Amino acid sequence: MQIEWINLMPELIIFGIAIAVLLGEMYFSTNAKRFLGILSLLGIVAALFSLTSLYGVEATEFMGMFSIDLTATVLKGILLVTTALVVLATSRSRMTIGEGEFYSMMLFSVLGTMFMASANDLIMLFIALELTVLPAYILVGSKKTAGSAEAALKYFLLGLVASVILLYGMSLVYGLTGQTNFTAIANALAGQAIQPLLLVGMVMIVVGLGFKVAAVPFHFWAPDVYEGAPVPVASFLAVGPKAGGFAALIHFFPVALAVAAPIWAGLFAILAVLSMLLGNLAALAQTQVRRLLGYSAVAHTGYLLVGLAVADSFGYTSLIFYFLVYSLAALGSFLVILATTERGLGENVTDFAGLYKRAPMLALAMAIFLFSLVGIPPLAGFMGKVYLFSAAVQGDLIWLAVIGVLNSVVSFGYYVTVIRQMYFVNPPTNEGLPVSKPLYLSIVLIMAAVVFLGVYPSAFLSIINL
Amino acid sequence: MDYPILSIIVFLPLLGALLLQFVPREKANLIRGIALITTLAGLALGIPILTDFTAGQSAMQFVEKQVWVPGLGISYYLGLDGLSMPLFLLTLVLTVISVLASWSIKERVRQYFSLLLLLEVGMLGTFVALDLILFYVFWELVLIPMFFIIGIWGGENRNYAALKFFLYTLAGSVLMLVGILALYFTSGLNTFDMVQLMQSGYKHYLSTFIFATFFLGFAVKVPMWPFHTWLPDAHVQAPTAGSVLLAGILLKMGTYAFVRIIMQIMPGEFVRFAPYIAVLAAISIVYGAYAALSQSDLKKLVAYSSVSHMGYVMLGLASLTQISINGAVLQMVNHGLITGMLFLLVGYIYERTHTRDIAKLGGLSIKIPILGGMFIFAALASLGLPFLSGFVGEFLVLLGSYQVYKVYTILGVLTLALGAFYLLRAVQNAFYGMPPASMEDFKDMSGREFISLIPLVALIVVFGVYPKPLLQYIDPAVSAVLQMIRGS
């Protein structure tokens, strides 16, 4: 078996850095540990560089288990960029665990997600998925408070159940086809009538992965985890593991289960509607900002699933674009919360009162992120929705597009509560809220990206050939 | 024209807004000055538009076209014709006036003027955009600044009014996005280019659905009964400049979009639904006037009268005759001038009296004779006194609509009398008679306020006596619209 190691370079770099950072935590002096964040950042940047050389490469490694293609490369790119921003933003934060532990756990999780994005085999997919979520469980529980422990336990138990269901579904598919490779499964199924057992297996896989991306009705962990986890962890969770879940969905269903496309597409359409509706309605009732964003994340899973419900390549690429614009805005808003909580502000919506005066840049950034999440032009979220709903309309799912746009009106109902506090209410004190430089830089970069991608989306779209 | 004049005018205010961010926020006068200079520069740049515009040419002028998002065939496409040019210039004029009217804003001055300039970008862009997505971007861009202007500098109930304004307009317009996308995929042209879509003679079984989504988006904006309920709240709570621009420009965006998009891209659907639109227009006319009749708040009275006047515009459009559409477009401009002036005056009066309750006012023409005189002038223009511009537009509308909808036209004529009644009654109660003893003395109009009103007075008189220069731009564009309607 010949392996082109160069094709695995990004993964190898992340793996190496994750180990190095973990060792650094053990052997470095307290002073030197401060540089572990910078080391992680450099590692991610190096991985990004090696990833760019893979742009346009189509190959498979490990006897077809690991596939390198445009979708995988772009999703890895998004993942690495957002992770780099998280690392940059948290490099001066006070951690609940050692810096090295924090960053290495995060990097291991990223590594798992990268493998998920490239997985072309059921076994590879499952192992990668576990590698993604296990460090995430640890990170969620890393704050030694009841809330953090509760969130971690909930995340772990529900995640475990999801994994088991997923595994059972996979075993059914394997039992029917005798194959674990996605392409081989597709070949085995081609031309045959769809058996009921295959549908059972398919539904179980949908349920298992639905848990991972927090689609309704498998979303219960999301608000608790977003609320209970330490803030730096929550910002990472908003982007990292979710990317893996969607990467798996985009790879597995269209390739392996192409024969049953209308069935799973319909299933995803239903999940999309439920997630949008319930996510948005539940968010309306929230007064805790992170919980609110947790439900908004559920709603956005719904929007993203529209891309899968369309079930064609235009749908998937639109999904990837929307994932990028969503994760930027979601990450940005979590980082603003990180910045305010680091200065001792609470996490209720009312704690944002008069933020425009105390931290004008943070307030502006937050407003831009929230407006982008609603999908107001000329911000990136708007272009993302244009593409996603274009895909829906083209795929004869106008009703889904209608539900989608109406939901964005509903979503304004809760995002506005934060905006209103920030701009319409006077602050309790006029005391400024200084922000550490790396965190500030990270927020400003994301804000610039959200505006830039809204005005000039082709910068990204040309990469994914849209 | 070898430089992109439209882009320069549209984005100049954005530049001004960015510049403001570098001015220390305590320097209120410098901030106001920069805002004023920016809007004045925009107005000055508008002069070559007026002089170089070729009247009678139905094709778009000052065209700029650039690929924007190649993947979806979205282009950055700007241009003006006889329909949009008057509204474009009206926007330039009214924003200068709004800046002057906002001198009395004392809190968060820098934020305020930044938002006002941003609002101008959205308004100007809406009238020049010739690509549907670009149009939608500008259309929605207007929402955010207006939301903040009402929500931060508005009256007591600003929170509610701002949210209601935003949600209503957003709900109306998001469906339009689906409509635009459906149009894109069903036209088979793979373009959002409005001009190309207009010429394509679009027909598809989804036409009715697309029409419905557009109709909803625009009807909320106009607003037509029964989609009007956001308007009284937003107008009354908004600060003076906000009301001026809401009434003067934002409502026109709705009626303009009816002509530009529905009538020109899907004329067949418009003809089919015109009778229903006419019913809603007639209800708006009567309802708005009756609602205005029962208001004791001067600003609310003007707000409801807007619903009525916009009803005339819609009736003119729905009648589909050359005269009535000419009248409707003319009335868009005139209503912008007249209602803008009324809101301006209500704002100036309120700054002095701190009440808008007609019952508590009285004898204002004794206390503040110039301001009072101006208000009476604007009220007369609004009720349609001949030789003032309000008359011409509504007269043409009714003249044209009589051939098609006799009953509605008669209702419209009768409502004109009603309009005269409530306006004159308000004038009588608030401006004539003796001032209540409790009323203190106020200063009459300041120089700044006077300057802000003069252009409006001049234009109202000029267009009232001699509307031909305006009509010579509008008429050929209307002919082009009607040609499409007949071709459908």
Could you report the per-residue pLDDT of B271-286, keeping only the tens digit for each? Answer: 999 999 999 999 999 9
Determine, for residues A382 and B148 on separate chains, whether the beta-carbon distance falls below 8 Å. Answer: no
**How far, CA to CA in Å, does B342 sit from each of A466, B339, B361, B446?**
50, 5, 16, 17
Grade residue B13 by pLDDT with cuts at 50, 70 and 90. very high
Cβ atoms within 10 A of the Cβ of A47, count?
28
Q: What is the pLDDT of residue A61?
A: 82
This complex has an ipTM of 0.92
pLDDT at B239 over 90: yes
Q: What is the pLDDT of residue A361?
A: 92
Q: Give per-residue pLDDT as tens, A57-94.
A: 888 888 888 888 888 899 999 999 999 999 999 887 77
Grade residue A449 by pLDDT with cuts at 50, 70 and 90. very high
Q: Which among A406, A397, A408 has a CA at the least distance from the CA of A373?
A: A408
Q: Give per-residue pLDDT as tens, B391-425.
A: 888 999 999 999 889 899 999 989 998 988 899 98
Of B70, B141, B177, the CB nearest to A458: B70
β-bridge pairing A59-61 and A66-68: antiparallel
Structure tokens at B194: 């409005």
Determine, for residues B182 and A466 on separate chains, whether the beta-carbon distance falls below 8 Å. Answer: no
- Shortest CA distance from B182: residue in chain A: A393
A-chain residues near B182 (CB < 8 A): 393, 398
Q: Which phi and psi angles does A400 have, rounded to 5°?
A: -70, -40
How many whole angstroms separate alpha carbon A417 and alpha carbon B343? Answer: 30
Q: Which among B212, B171, B27 has a CA at the least distance from the CA of A407?
A: B171
Determine, for residues A376 and B185 on separate chains, whether the beta-carbon distance falls below 8 Å. Answer: no
Q: What is the pLDDT of residue B326?
A: 93
Grade residue A391 by pLDDT with cuts at 50, 70 and 90. very high
Cβ proximity of A180 and A122 under 8 Å: yes
**How far, CA to CA in Å, does A179 sit from each of A31, A163, A186, A353, A394?**
52, 20, 9, 57, 34
How many whole angstroms separate alpha carbon A240 and alpha carbon A251? Answer: 17
β-bridge pairing B61-69 and A66-68: unpaired
Cβ–Cβ contact B192 with A under 8 A: no
Grade residue A466 by pLDDT with cuts at 50, 70 and 90. low
Q: Which among A12, A106, A130, A122 has a CA at the least distance from the CA of A66?
A: A122
Residues 6+ apart with CB under 8 A from A281: A410
How many whole angstroms separate alpha carbon B148 and alpha carbon B154? Answer: 9
Where b means 16+ CB within 10 Å and e means fewer, B73-106 reads bbbbbbbbbbbbbbbbbbbbbbbbbbbbbbbebe
How many whole angstroms separate alpha carbon A39 and alpha carbon A19? Answer: 12
Of B143, B166, B177, the CB nearest to A405: B177
Give SS3 for B63. Answer: strand
Q: What's the rounded mean pLDDT across residues B345-357?
A: 87
Q: What is the pLDDT of residue B284?
A: 94
Tell me the pLDDT of chain A averaged across its residues: 90
E strands present in B43-195: 61-69, 74-80
Q: What's the rounded mean pLDDT across residues B15-34?
A: 92
B-chain residues near A413 (CB < 8 A): 167
pLDDT at B458 over 70: yes
Distance of CA B476 to the CA centre of its chain: 22
Element (H, E) at B39: helix B28-52
Could you tell me what percent of chain A has a pLDDT over 70? 100
Q: What is the pLDDT of residue B432?
A: 85
Q: Give per-residue pLDDT as tens, B355-372.
A: 888 888 877 877 888 888
Q: What's the rounded mean pLDDT across residues A8-16?
A: 92
Cross-strand partners of B297: B357
Q: What's the rounded mean pLDDT across residues B210-234?
A: 91
pLDDT at B352 over 90: no
Helices (DSSP H) in A178-195: which residue ranges? 182-189
Could you tell me what percent of chain A has a pLDDT over 90? 62
Asked, as a colleague might, if the bond just before B223 is cis with ω within 30 of 0, I would say yes
Q: What is the pLDDT of residue A1?
A: 65
Q: What's the rounded mean pLDDT across residues B224-232?
A: 90
β-bridge pairing B74-80 and B61-69: antiparallel
Chain A residues whose C-beta is within 8 A of a chain B C-beta are 356, 371, 375-378, 382-383, 385-387, 389-390, 393-394, 398, 401-402, 405-406, 408-409, 412-413, 416, 420, 423-424, 457-458, 461-462, 466
Grade residue B225 by pLDDT with cuts at 50, 70 and 90. confident
Characterise B363 by phi-psi region: left (phi > 0), alpha (psi -120 to 50), beta (else): left
pLDDT at A195 over 60: yes
Cβ atoms within 10 A of the Cβ of B487, count?
9
Tell me the pLDDT of chain B averaged across its residues: 90
How many whole angstroms separate alpha carbon B165 and alpha carbon B233? Answer: 8
Q: What is the pLDDT of residue A218?
A: 86
Grade residue B1 by pLDDT with cuts at 50, 70 and 90. low
How many whole angstroms separate alpha carbon A267 and alpha carbon A169? Answer: 16
How many whole angstroms separate alpha carbon B77 and alpha carbon B418? Answer: 44
Q: What is the pTM of this model?
A: 0.94
Q: How far is B182 from chain A (nearest CA, A)?
A: 6
